C-alpha cells in the first residue's frame, strides 16, 4: 500500500531552537531523566478511536476530516487497510503504544459471530504489524456504548439479555487484547449510569456491575492474561450520572464489591474536570489507594462542560501530572495515552502529527520540570516540615496507635492553647513552581 503520510518522515528531536514543525523540541526518547529514559517514563500511546476513526462529526454537523486513505465504508476491507495507516503513523511519530476498542479496529457484523470473525481477521493483521515494528498494545477495551442495544447500559442494563451480550463482547475483546500481548485492559462504563432515578434500581444495577467485573476477573485468569484491569472514571456524558464517577467513587465501588485487588485506575484529565476535580487530585486519590495505573492524556476547555478531548498543551497541567506520577514511582504497565482528538477545523492529515507532537513535547517538558522540582527538593522539604509534628511526641504516638482520647485530653489540658501553627505559604509555593516552568 502507498504511504498514507508520504510527505512526512520519522519525527526527530531537533531541540528547542528548531523551527521545523515536524520535529520534537523537547521529547528525546533516550534522554535519561532521574536515571530512566524519557520514553520509558512517558510510554506514549495513540488511540485508534480518535486518530483513525475520528472524523470530526459533532451534534450539529457531519465529519470534516480529510483522510485520503479512507474509502468511506466501515467494511472489513477498509479495517484491514487502516491497520497499515495506524502503524505508519505510530512509527513515524515514535509512539511505542496504541490503544483500541474492539469496534474501532473491526466493524460490527450482522451477528455477534460475524463481529467476532471480523475482529479475529483484524487482530491477525495487527499482530503482523506489531511483529514488524516496535509498536505495542497499551490496552484494549470493548465498545459497549455505540450500538442501540446498549441504550439502558451494558453490565447495568435493566435487560439481562444485554448483560449477556456485553459479557460475550468483553470476553472476546479480552481475548483479542491477550492475543496481541496488551499490557492492560480498560473498563470505561460508557452507559453504566442513569438518566433518571424514576426508572432505576440503583442497587441492583451496581450489584450487576460488580458481578460482571468478577466474571471478567475469572475469565482473565482462565486465559492467563497477566496485565492489570483498569477502571476509567467519568462522572457524566453520555449519562447524567455514571457509577464510575470519579477516582474515589471507583475505589469505593471496587472495595465494596471486593475487586480492589484486581483493578487499578485509568485517569483522564477531562473526566477529572467534569467531576469538579483537578487531574492531580484524581492521581493523588488513586495513588493513596495504591491504584494509580495509567492516564488518558487530554484536556478539556474550562468554558465548556463536556468531554472535548483536546490535546494537552498546558505546561502547568503536565508538570503537575508528572510530579504526582514521579512521586508515586512512575508507570509500570500504564502509560500516557492520548485520548484526544484534533479539532474539527484541523481537518488535514498533518494535523494528526502536529497534535501528537504538541502533546508529546508538552509531556516531555512536564516530566523535566517535575524532575527539576524534585531535584531542587524545596517543595518536598516544605511538605515534610509541615507535618513534622507527627514525627515525634504526641503526633508519633497517635500515628503508632499508642494514644486515645483519654491520653489526648490529658495532653491538651497540660498544653493549654495551641501556639505552634505555621503558615501554609501557598503563594510562596506557587511562585516556587514558576521558577521551574
Ligand atoms: C470516553 C472515554 C473512552 C475511554 C475508552 O470518554 O474516555 O474513550 O477512554 O473507552
Ligand atoms: Ni478515556
Ligand atoms: Ni473521555
Contact by Cβ (8 Å): 36, 330: yes
Atom of ligand 1 nearest to the CA of 296: 9
Report pLDDT for 1: 74
Annotated active-site residue in 104, 307, 339, 361: 104
Ligand 1 in reach of 232 Cβ (< 6 A): yes
Residue 56: alpha-carbon gap to chain centroid: 21
Query: What does the H/E/C string look like for 99-168?
Result: EEEHHHHCCCCCCHHHHHHHHHHHHHHHHHHHHHCCCEEEEEECCCCCCHHHCCCCCCCCCHHHHHHHHH
For residue 14, CA distances in Å to 18, 21, 357, 371 come to: 6, 10, 12, 21
Report pLDDT for 302: 86
Report pLDDT for 159: 98
d(CA 86, CA 52): 7
SS3 assignment, position 293: strand
Is 104 noted as a catalytic residue in this protein?
yes
Q: How many angstroms does the Cα of residue 386 sit away from the middle of ligand 3?
A: 36
Q: In the chain, what is the greatest distance between 2 CA atoms, to the nearest angstrom?
A: 83
The domain 12-376 is classified under which CATH number: 3.10.450.50, 3.30.420.10, 3.40.50.720, 3.20.20.150?
3.20.20.150
Cell readout for 401 is 496507635
The candidate with the shortest Cα–Cα distance to 242, out of 200, 306, 190, 204, is 190
CA dihedral over 33, 34, 35, 40, signed as positive or negative = negative
Ligand 1 in reach of 145 Cβ (< 6 A): no
The candidate with the shortest Cα–Cα distance to 10, out of 133, 122, 98, is 133
Candidates 190, 193, 293, 340: which one to mutate for ligand 1, based on the most atoms within 8 Å of Cβ?
190
With a CB cutoff of 8 Å and minimum separation 6, the contacts of 417 are none
In the chain, where does the domain assigned CATH 3.20.20.150 lie? Answer: 12-376
| Residue pLDDT tens, the chain, 437 long | 789 999 999 999 999 999 999 999 999 999 999 999 999 999 999 999 999 999 999 999 999 999 999 999 999 999 999 999 999 999 999 999 999 999 999 999 999 999 999 999 999 999 999 999 999 999 999 999 999 999 999 999 999 999 999 999 999 999 999 999 999 999 999 999 999 999 999 999 999 999 999 999 999 999 999 999 999 999 999 999 999 999 999 999 999 999 999 999 999 999 999 999 999 999 999 999 999 999 999 999 989 999 999 999 999 999 999 999 999 999 999 999 999 999 999 999 999 999 999 999 999 999 999 999 999 999 999 999 999 999 999 999 999 999 999 999 999 999 999 999 999 999 999 999 999 99
Instruction: Report the predicted TM-score, pTM, of the whole model to 2 decimal places.
Output: 0.97
Pairing type for strands 32-33 and 36-37 reads antiparallel
d(CA 200, CA 155): 14
Start-to-end CA span in the chain (Å): 44
Q: How many angstroms does the Cα of residue 405 sit away from the middle of ligand 2?
A: 46
CB neighbourhood size of 266 (10 A): 32
- The pLDDT tens digits for 312-343 are 999 999 999 999 999 999 999 999 999 999 99
The candidate with the shortest Cα–Cα distance to 139, out of 305, 373, 292, 339, is 339
Cell readout for 409 is 485530653
Is 178 noted as a catalytic residue in this protein?
no
Amino acid at each position: 500500500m502507498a504511504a498514507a503520510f508520504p510527505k512526512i518522515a520519522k519525527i526527530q528531536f531537533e531541540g528547542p531552537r528548531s523551527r521545523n514543525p515536524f520535529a520534537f523540541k523537547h521529547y528525546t526518547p533516550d534522554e535519561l531523566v532521574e536515571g530512566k529514559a524519557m520514553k520509558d517514563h512517558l510510554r506514549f500511546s495513540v488511540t485508534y478511536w480518535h486518530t483513525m476513526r475520528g472524523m470530526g462529526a459533532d451534534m450539529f454537523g457531519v465529519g470534516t476530516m480529510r483522510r485520503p486513505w479512507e474509502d468511506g465504508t466501515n467494511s472489513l476491507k477498509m479495517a484491514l487497510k487502516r491497520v497499515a495507516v495506524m502503524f505508519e503513523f505510530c512509527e513515524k511519530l515514535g509512539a511505542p503504544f496504541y490503544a483500541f476498542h474492539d469496534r474501532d479496529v473491526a466493524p460490527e457484523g450482522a451477528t455477534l459471530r460475524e463481529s467476532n470473525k471480523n475482529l479475529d481477521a483484524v487482530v491477525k493483521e495487527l499482530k503482523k504489524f506489531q511483529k514488524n515494528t516496535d509498536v505495542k498494545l497499551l490496552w484494549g477495551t470493548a465498545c459497549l456504548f455505540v450500538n442501540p442495544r446498549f441504550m439502558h447500559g451494558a453490565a447495568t442494563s435493566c435487560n439481562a439479555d444485554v448483560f449477556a451480550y456485553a459479557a460475550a463482547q468483553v470476553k472476546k475483546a479480552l481475548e483479542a487484547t491477550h492475543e496481541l500481548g496488551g499490557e492492560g485492559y480498560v473498563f470505561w462504563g460508557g452507559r453504566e449510569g442513569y438518566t433518571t432515578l424514576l426508572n432505576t434500581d440503583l442497587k441492583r444495577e451496581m450489584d450487576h456491575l460488580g458481578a460482571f467485573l468478577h466474571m471478567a476477573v475469572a475469565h482473565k485468569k482462565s486465559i492467563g492474561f497477566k496485565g492489570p484491569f483498569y477502571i476509567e472514571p467519568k462522572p457524566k456524558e453520555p449519562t447524567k450520572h455514571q457509577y464510575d464517577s470519579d477516582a474515589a467513587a471507583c475505589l469505593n465501588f471496587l472495595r465494596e464489591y471486593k475487586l480492589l485487588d484486581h483493578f487499578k485506575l485509568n485517569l483522564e484529565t477531562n473526566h477529572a474536570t467534569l467531576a469538579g476535580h483537578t487531574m492531580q487530585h484524581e492521581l493523588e486519590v488513586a495513588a493513596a489507594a495504591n491504584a494509580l495505573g495509567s492516564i488518558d492524556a487530554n484536556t478539556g476547555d474550562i468554558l465548556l462542560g463536556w468531554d472535548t478531548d483536546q490535546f494537552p498543551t498546558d505546561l502547568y497541567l503536565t508538570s503537575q501530572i508528572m510530579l504526582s506520577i514521579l512521586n508515586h514511582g512512575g508507570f509500570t504497565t500504564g502509560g500516557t495515552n492520548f485520548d484526544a482528538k484534533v479539532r474539527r477545523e484541523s481537518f488535514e492529515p498533518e494535523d494528526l502529527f502536529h497534535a501528537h507532537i504538541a502533546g508529546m513535547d508538552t509531556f516531555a517538558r512536564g516530566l523535566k520540570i517535575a524532575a527539576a522540582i524534585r531535584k531542587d527538593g524545596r517543595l518536598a522539604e516544605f511538605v515534610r516540615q509541615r507535618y513534622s509534628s507527627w514525627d515525634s511526641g504526641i503526633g508519633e504516638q497517635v500515628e503508632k496507635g499508642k494514644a486515645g482520647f483519654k491520653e489526648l485530653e490529658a495532653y491538651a489540658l497540660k498544653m493549654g492553647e495551641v501556639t505552634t501553627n505555621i503558615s501554609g505559604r501557598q503563594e510562596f509555593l506557587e511562585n516556587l513552581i514558576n521558577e521551574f516552568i
